[in-house]
Amino acid sequence: MAAKIGLWVILRPGPYICSEIDLGGLPSWLLQDSNVRLRTTDKGFVEAVDKYFDHLIARVVPLQYRQGGPIIAVQVENEYGSFDKDKYYMPYIQKALLKRGIVELLLTSDGEKEVLKGYIKGVLAAINIATFQKDTFKHLHNIQKNKPIMIMEYWVGWFDTWGNKHNVKDARDVENTVSEFIKFEISFNVYMFHGGTNFGFINGATDLGKHESIATSYVALAHLMLKVLWKIAWPMTVSWCLADYDAVLTEAGDYTEKYFKLRKLFGSVLAFPLPPLPKLTPKTVYPSMRPSFYLPLWDVLQYLNEPVISDKPINMENLPINSGNGQSYGFILYETAICSGGELHADVQDTAQVFLNETSIGILGNADQYLNIPKVRGCQRLRILVENQGRVNFSWKIQDQRKGLIGSVTINNIPLEGYTIYSLEMKMSFFERLHSATWRPFRSSYLGPAFYIGTLRAGSSPKDTFLRLLNWNNGFVFINGRNLGRYWYIGPQETLYLPGTWLHPGENEIILFEKRKSGSYILTNLNPSFKTVL
């Protein structure tokens, strides 16, 4: 595709890519063995890398420039200087690429200071920066002289996390910085140029003392590329199409002030005129809608795949499902019996709703692992619904990202035994089975996790739009079985991008999985919206 439209490619095949996606792009089944250290030369990890490269690089080799293709350079892993757990790892990845036939320029990519730990002798070192200052290249010059300067990532914005402010970078700052790059003949990539979306459950997370989930408006291409190599469950990415990120183009492909400033700047230094602006993708507002029916989660369990029966809790990744690959994303529900009240303790990642039968009794999470259980009559059903809100995508904490219940559950220090475990991956096949369910007429006051179904009428020529969930709390939206991503009242993101290509002419099925309480209307907007979070 790149060659067809006249682009050169700098390929960044990982195996780790960061990109603010789940586990930095590494497949979750790598977490099944707690002894395997990710991004090191541990036997279990390099065996997985070798298998991945055996499949991938064979497809890449004929697309290199020297064979008439568009690939002019290949990056060796990503930002390893920030990880730096194994001095043999980066040379191993370099050799793995070379012996499989990569002949184009090799690069590394690291932060300004981290480049001292991430570079490889004989490989062009590039850096990632947010601002251009007098000493920006001080550390780079210490490790390589008389080589061209390459800024692999010039950050023109930043990503958002739920519950925090919407990040915005002044367009004039971007314009001034890029002017300096041009003045000093510095090569650079704009990161990101085109915005995208965390469709599905693929968002990553940060953890700087507190787990924070990355918002839905972020990543697109990594999700698409993941499907190419689904059998080995490993995505790759390309640097020019990833993030909304306050980027040069929005996730819907719309122009921003940064776009026009950079276009004018480039036009002033090029010896040839720029092509005319492409037309924007048309957008529209559809009639507001309310769900017609709903299904409490407890009514849905019969439509899930067979549950796992276990004496002890099992985390997502180690569930014996999906041909031994475990569960990557979504929710997991644990059921067991309790015959007394007391202090409940559960080691949860990331967030759990706790129920006695169908009644909510509290929330557990990474920071709150204790809950008082009221007195019970006889034996009752204890239910713990855990959501994977995104695995950390950066730092050493990627080693400890198993989701669900990751230890025993106790009441008054006595372990509970005997679990029925349901996997809620919410794949397309699951929604097909839900069509045979007996849905209840919609009510606007239902409390608890539930599915809500309604109809979006798109007319004869569907167009892009943005969904806004009025008075809903926290959950996911599915259009014709496709997962648009997470909504959450805490912001900063208030709308979900809905591509017109995902809509059918006429009626479209819209299903919400709401975790807490039913809302009222589902609205559409012409533009994305964000709220100020203090």
Q: State the Cα–Cα distance between residues 108 and 76, nearest whole angstrom.
A: 5
Q: State the Cα–Cα distance between residues 441 and 290, nearest whole angstrom.
A: 11
* 507 flagged as catalytic: no
The 3-state DSSP class for residue 215 equals coil
Q: State the Cα–Cα distance between residues 199 and 225, nearest whole angstrom.
A: 13
Residue of 153, 317, 387, 425 marked active site: 153
Q: State the Cα–Cα distance between residues 73 and 8, nearest whole angstrom.
A: 9
How many DSSP H helices and E strands does the chain contain? 9, 28
Residue of 20, 79, 114, 494 marked active site: 79
Which candidate, 515, 517, 524, places its Cα nearest to that of 456? Answer: 524
Q: State the Cα–Cα distance between residues 366 and 350, nearest whole angstrom.
A: 6
Q: State the Cα–Cα distance between residues 468 and 422, nearest whole angstrom.
A: 30
* 79 flagged as catalytic: yes
Q: Which string of b and e fits 34-57 if b means at least 16 CB within 10 Å? A: eebbbbbbbeebbebbeebbeebb
Q: State the Cα–Cα distance between residues 374 and 341, nearest whole angstrom.
A: 5
Strand pairing category for 450-457 and 237-238: unpaired
Q: State the Cα–Cα distance between residues 258 and 248, nearest whole angstrom.
A: 5
Q: Catalytic amino acids?
A: 79, 153
